[in-house]
Structure 1
Amino acid sequence: MTENEKFYTSILSDTSQEILLSQLIESLSETQQELVNKEWGKDYLDRLTSLSLESLKHEPILVKDEESKIQKELAELSFREYKSCIHVNSCYADINNSLDNLSSQLSILTAEIPLLETSSESFSQQTKQISLQRNKINTILEHHDNLLEILEIPQLMDTCVRNGLYSEVMDLSQHVARLVSKHSNIPLIQQIEQDVKQTMQLMLSKLISLLREQIKLPSCLKVIGYLRRMEAFDEAELRLVFLLSRDAYLQSLIHTIDKERKDPVHYLKKWIDIFREHFFDIVTQYRTIFADDVGGLASTPIYSSFIIPRSPSSPWTTASSDSNEYSSGRRNLTATSVLADYTIHILDQLTLVLAEFTPLITDTQSLSSILTQLMYCGMSFGRVGVDFRHLVTGYFEEAVERIVKKIISDGTQVFLDELNEAIKNVNIPNTWMISDKKSVNLFESIPSIRPSSSSSISSTNSSTTVTSSFTPLVILLDYPPIAYLTNAYLTAFNSLRVIAPTSLYYTLGAYLFQNLLTISESLRDYGKLLIQNNHDTTVLQGFNATFAKSFVPFITRCYVDGVYGGSLGDEAHLKVIDQAKILDTLKEFLPASINISNKVDI
């Protein structure tokens, strides 16, 4: 047989055996099928097919014998190892139960696996975040000291501001500014920046409040230096802030003396003292701190003739202000201009105070004291270009004019009241014009005027020799109305002599002449009344002669030479008091010996 035939014969033999084995297995019950091992069955089938017929016939007997043998050995084994068999059986039952439980638990485990996967993923994410936070915390811990320094900056700045350590505050502010420029996107740095800004606002208010208190020049320089470093104001605004703050302090001092308003003299003196001391400090401090960058301040005085005081509603203006300067909504302020505007404001306030309180003063002695105080103050301020003396004299002139006119008017009114009473009752001159011991022969020659050192009104010009006496004439005492009138006028002249404005010379002279002329006209009317009632006018003539020839020249001399020292000219009295007109008014009731055509030499 060839090799191919052998090969195909072996293939067919294997195939037939498998088919035969399959048919044999299928013929068995299910329980028996589970006991059959295909490998063993195949080997046994190969053995059967290789046996001879005789051997094949004896095979069932051999199988039976083998089965009996196995059964016997199994019986012996069971008898010998029955405990083990029982145990194995029990274990087999337990294993089956365990396998059943394992199967059910395995199903549950299989169902829980997706949830476990989800939880695992969530845990993994959480652990990553925790890890990141841990890394951040570790980083923070490594830089704890640096972070603590940064976090304490706002509190440290606040403490420095409250303790007045402004230089340290500025250094810390610059440090924070550098941090912001490098790390502007970090929320913590942004928060610190906000806190620092609030602290800087507190510092700004503190610095401005320092300018509203008593402060010396070195401290002013430091405060302005800090304000400039803060860059809260530009240069023009900084000047205004300085002046407004210092003015607030000045006004607070002025308000402290408001309780003295009931006493105008005392109030004005205190007001001027405060004004002199503190306004001078403001001017000097301002000119030192805000000196122009181009060689200092201008040589033009801060307060000169081209700057005039304005009303309180617009104090910060100058007479030379151009409307074009305001077209842009803001003036171009310089150290001189803004200080000049403020000076106008303060001097306007001074003039308002003088205008309010000088009319309340009733004696020239107090006016003279206040004016002297102001003159020295103005002369002192002249060193810094704020000579204001020409602004205040008008108020004192008005006050002097009012006081002197009132004294003259009161004296004249007393005389006229007595004269009008006599006219009303047609009283004869003997009853009221002369004293009890005076004779009626009064129109003889007028006594000569003799110099006297007592009770005289001294001249204001000490270098001029006064040849005439200012002692009242004795003959004036013979006529009580004239004596009282002389006393009133001399009281007015003594008040005027304390503070005698040259500008009032003609004004008061005209007023004095008007009063004398009014008295003369009333005396003339009284004389006409006496003639109408057929009364003797001899006493009246003597009274008029003394009034016109003694009283009027004496009063004129006292006014011209005694008060003003004759500094306005030898003939000035003729222009002020027209004695000829008074004589002409009384000519009908004067003694015949008096020639009214001649002028009287004083």
Structure 2
Amino acid sequence: MTQDENELLKLLFPNGYPDEWNSNSTFSEYITKLGSYNVDELVKEPNKLKEEQIATTEHTQELAVSNYKTFIQTSQCSKDLFNRFNTIELDLFKLLENIPTFEQKCQTFAVETNDINTLRKLNSLTLTRNAQLLEILELPQLMDSFIKDGLYENALELASYVRRLYTKHSDIPIFKSILNDVEKSWLVMLHQLLSQLRSDLTLPKSLQVVGYLRRMEIFTESELRLKFLQARDTWFQNCLISISNEDTTYHLNKTIEITRVNLFIIVTQYRAIFNDDEHSPLSEARNSNINQNIIFFGWIRNKITQFLTILENDLQKGVSSIDSVLGQCMFFGLSFSKVGCDFRPLMVKIFTKVISKHFQQSTSNATKNFEKNMEKFTLINRNHPSVPWRMKSTDPIQPPDSLIEFYPLADYLNNILTSFNDLRLCPPITIVCDVVDCLETSLLTVCKAIVTLYAQERQAFNSNSKDAFTRLCISFADDLVPYLQKCIHIIFPPNIITAHLGVNVQQLQKENISFLNKVKIIEPIKHLLPAKIEPVLSEISIEETIKDNENSEIMLNASEEVKIEE
């Protein structure tokens, strides 16, 4: 507005007017129009305005009366609008409050969608590399297939390839999972290889299997040797268990054969596979403090000890041909001398013990049988025999004919000769003293049984009975005992014994080595024998007797055993 208009407004509205009138264009036009009036018009203007006011009021009333419903609706609508605007205002306040959270979620969604997009790109890339990824994921299945088909060379190469992959991509979990699956198959392969070592393997196959185990690098060199020997020992023990033990002789012979053959196979395989040189660079580099030869020789010592235990147990049970068993065992020990394990000296004690025990049992049975026969034997009313029993035989080892008259003595001699025949097949010189002592004890028992017979029947003896008893004593003392002495010297020639001991024959006789103590044996019946002068057995005569009989056989056939008719 102009200055004049402002002054006019001050005159018209000394108390001021609302500021919003200044923006009203009608108010500005009216003031401008009012400024152009003259005095008369200005005087008339209040009345005019009043009339217009009245007219406007009347018109408004008429409009209100005629349109009151519209005004009511308008008022209600205004009220509703006000309430809605209030609601909108509250919602706007809430919206303003939630906008930061919404903004943050939008940002999070943008980040997530970005990751999704990245994953989508990765999935697309994975789809394009599906063939290569599938090959990698199928590596554990391929490993299982190689092991199942026995393609251990391929399995070793595949395992090495998987380890290299994991070394290059150790941060990727899938490679760790693949490596774990391959390691599980690795253990299955180890189990299969050890199972093959527990079966019957040829040398090339055993070399191949141990080569695989070495490349697996699970065992050290010492552990590999132990595992090899343990696995082969399992196969060896299964072979021994499969032998039938119903027949002791068959069991022992088969055990000797299987032990000799299979142990030699295992030793040959071990020597071919492992280096036993103590000073080899390989052994020194791995462990200079371990002598790996001890592993092998400790194992072979246990196997030999096991064999000796089986040998001793079976021999004690009794075998049909001990000389054949001894020959096989000595061949077994000799063959192992090639690998430095000659154990023949260890078997000497076992065989001598068994042979000595067997002879003692046979002699004891002969003695008991003689005692039983003597219980039924009698000399009462016995006449002089009609057989020429004092005729000298041309055969130096022919049993005395005088014993035919007394069947207990003849039967006793038969049993003793049977024991001698068994002993002759395998006579260890070390048991000669045991044989002589056992025979002396038996003969002394026989002599006492003769004395007991005399004590029981002498009251009923007549002249014939006394002569028969005298012949019985003479046959025992002069025929049976010297004949058994001759048999001992045939089995154990004194010249061989003297060669081993480094003494002469007279010293052997003095020490009663291979000589029966006849004086001790016949002591119980000495007073019943007729007096005579005993010739001194010189060294020359002994040697001549031995020379005549050293190539002879000891045998008393069934036809020579004569039973006396009482």
Cα offset, 1:336, TM superposition: 1.9
The one-letter code matched in structure 2 to 1:132 is D
The one-letter code matched in structure 1 to 2:433 is Y
Partner of 1:549: 478
Looking at structure 1, the residues matched to 226 and 14 of structure 2 have their Cα atoms a distance apart, in angstroms, of 121
Looking at structure 2, the residues matched to 44 and 56 of structure 1 have their Cα atoms a distance apart, in angstroms, of 16
Q: Which runs of 5+ in 1 are unaligned?
A: 1-12, 69-88, 298-329, 452-467
Contact 1:272–1:374 (8 Å) recurs in 2: yes
Looking at structure 2, the residues matched to 240 and 400 of structure 1 have their Cα atoms a distance apart, in angstroms, of 38
Matches within 5 A, 1:195-344: 195-257=181-243, 260-292=244-276, 332-344=289-301
Q: Does the C-alpha gap of structure 1 residues 93 and 168 become closer, same or farther in structure 2, counting only changes over 3 Å?
A: farther
- SS state at 2:275 partner: coil
1:156 counterpart = 2:137: no
Aligned partner (choices 334, 343, 350) of residue 395 of structure 1: 350
Looking at structure 2, the residues matched to 248 and 136 of structure 1 have their Cα atoms a distance apart, in angstroms, of 57
Partner of 1:135: 118
1:495 counterpart = 2:422: yes
Cα offset, 1:176, TM superposition: 3.1
TM-score (norm 1): 0.70
Contact 2:10–2:16 (8 Å) recurs in 1: no
1:576 counterpart = 2:505: no
Cα offset, 1:521, TM superposition: 4.8
Q: Does the C-alpha gap of structure 1 residues 584 and 273 become closer, same or farther in structure 2, counting only changes over 3 Å?
A: closer
- SS state at 2:411 partner: helix
1:379 counterpart = 2:326: no
- SS state at 1:261 partner: coil
- SS state at 1:450 partner: coil
Looking at structure 2, the residues matched to 278 and 440 of structure 1 have their Cα atoms a distance apart, in angstroms, of 62
Q: Does the C-alpha gap of structure 1 residues 111 and 552 become closer, same or farther in structure 2, counting only changes over 3 Å?
A: same
260-269 vs 108-117, greater mean Cα deviation: 108-117
Q: Does the C-alpha gap of structure 1 residues 182 and 62 become closer, same or farther in structure 2, counting only changes over 3 Å?
A: same
Cα offset, 1:346, TM superposition: 0.9
Contact 2:447–2:522 (8 Å) recurs in 1: no
Matches within 5 A, 1:455-494: 468=396, 470-494=397-421
- SS state at 2:233 partner: helix
Contact 1:428–1:535 (8 Å) recurs in 2: no
Q: Does the C-alpha gap of structure 1 residues 508 and 584 become closer, same or farther in structure 2, counting only changes over 3 Å?
A: closer
Partner of 2:304: 347
1:110 counterpart = 2:92: yes
Q: Does the C-alpha gap of structure 1 residues 116 and 274 become closer, same or farther in structure 2, counting only changes over 3 Å?
A: farther
Q: Does the C-alpha gap of structure 1 residues 543 and 156 become closer, same or farther in structure 2, counting only changes over 3 Å?
A: same
After superposition, what is the alpha-carbon deviation per residue over 1:4-44, rounded to whole angstroms, capped at 9, x for unaligned? xxxxxxxxx933422533765899999xx989864564466
Looking at structure 1, the residues matched to 122 and 8 of structure 2 have their Cα atoms a distance apart, in angstroms, of 82
The one-letter code matched in structure 1 to 2:294 is S
Contact 1:430–1:539 (8 Å) recurs in 2: no
- State the percentage of identical aligned residues: 27
Partner of 1:512: 439
Partner of 2:392: 448
Contact 1:284–1:384 (8 Å) recurs in 2: no
Q: Does the C-alpha gap of structure 1 residues 500 and 109 become closer, same or farther in structure 2, counting only changes over 3 Å?
A: same
Contact 1:180–1:189 (8 Å) recurs in 2: yes
Q: Does the C-alpha gap of structure 1 residues 563 and 183 become closer, same or farther in structure 2, counting only changes over 3 Å?
A: same
Cα offset, 1:282, TM superposition: 1.7
Looking at structure 1, the residues matched to 361 and 385 of structure 2 have their Cα atoms a distance apart, in angstroms, of 32
Q: Does the C-alpha gap of structure 1 residues 160 and 64 become closer, same or farther in structure 2, counting only changes over 3 Å?
A: farther
Contact 2:362–2:419 (8 Å) recurs in 1: yes
The one-letter code matched in structure 2 to 1:195 is D
Cα offset, 1:58, TM superposition: 5.8
Partner of 1:356: 313
Looking at structure 2, the residues matched to 111 and 413 of structure 1 have their Cα atoms a distance apart, in angstroms, of 130
Partner of 2:59: none
- Alignment length (residue pairs): 506
Contact 1:513–1:576 (8 Å) recurs in 2: no
Cα offset, 1:360, TM superposition: 0.8
Contact 1:408–1:512 (8 Å) recurs in 2: yes
Partner of 2:66: none
Q: Does the C-alpha gap of structure 1 residues 395 and 156 become closer, same or farther in structure 2, counting only changes over 3 Å?
A: same
After superposition, what is the alpha-carbon deviation per residue over 1:305-354, rounded to whole angstroms, capped at 9, x for unaligned? xxxxxxxxxxxxxxxxxxxxxxxxx9944342111101111111112222
Partner of 1:428: 379
Cα offset, 1:185, TM superposition: 3.7
Q: Does the C-alpha gap of structure 1 residues 588 and 529 become closer, same or farther in structure 2, counting only changes over 3 Å?
A: farther
Looking at structure 2, the residues matched to 429 and 588 of structure 1 have their Cα atoms a distance apart, in angstroms, of 21
Q: Which runs of 5+ in 2 are unaligned?
A: 52-70, 282-286, 499-503, 546-566
Looking at structure 2, the residues matched to 36 and 598 of structure 1 have their Cα atoms a distance apart, in angstroms, of 182
Looking at structure 2, the residues matched to 477 and 341 of structure 1 have their Cα atoms a distance apart, in angstroms, of 60
Looking at structure 2, the residues matched to 286 and 339 of structure 1 have their Cα atoms a distance apart, in angstroms, of 8
Looking at structure 1, the residues matched to 16 and 491 of structure 2 have their Cα atoms a distance apart, in angstroms, of 174
Cα offset, 1:525, TM superposition: 6.1
Looking at structure 2, the residues matched to 450 and 565 of structure 1 have their Cα atoms a distance apart, in angstroms, of 23
Looking at structure 2, the residues matched to 475 and 141 of structure 1 have their Cα atoms a distance apart, in angstroms, of 118
Cα offset, 1:584, TM superposition: 6.2
The one-letter code matched in structure 1 to 2:336 is F
Looking at structure 1, the residues matched to 473 and 341 of structure 2 have their Cα atoms a distance apart, in angstroms, of 55
The one-letter code matched in structure 2 to 1:129 is E
- SS state at 2:245 partner: helix
Contact 2:485–2:516 (8 Å) recurs in 1: no
Cα offset, 1:491, TM superposition: 0.8
Q: Does the C-alpha gap of structure 1 residues 44 and 370 become closer, same or farther in structure 2, counting only changes over 3 Å?
A: same
- SS state at 2:178 partner: helix
- SS state at 1:232 partner: coil
1:406 counterpart = 2:361: yes
Matches within 5 A, 1:141-180: 141-143=124-126, 144-180=130-166
Q: Does the C-alpha gap of structure 1 residues 331 and 359 become closer, same or farther in structure 2, counting only changes over 3 Å?
A: farther
TM-score (norm 2): 0.74
The two structures, once aligned, show a CA RMSD in angstroms of 4.5
Q: Does the C-alpha gap of structure 1 residues 332 and 366 become closer, same or farther in structure 2, counting only changes over 3 Å?
A: farther
Cα offset, 1:119, TM superposition: 4.1
- SS state at 2:2 partner: helix
Looking at structure 2, the residues matched to 227 and 403 of structure 1 have their Cα atoms a distance apart, in angstroms, of 51
Looking at structure 1, the residues matched to 521 and 434 of structure 2 have their Cα atoms a distance apart, in angstroms, of 22
The one-letter code matched in structure 2 to 1:410 is N
Looking at structure 1, the residues matched to 124 and 429 of structure 2 have their Cα atoms a distance apart, in angstroms, of 89
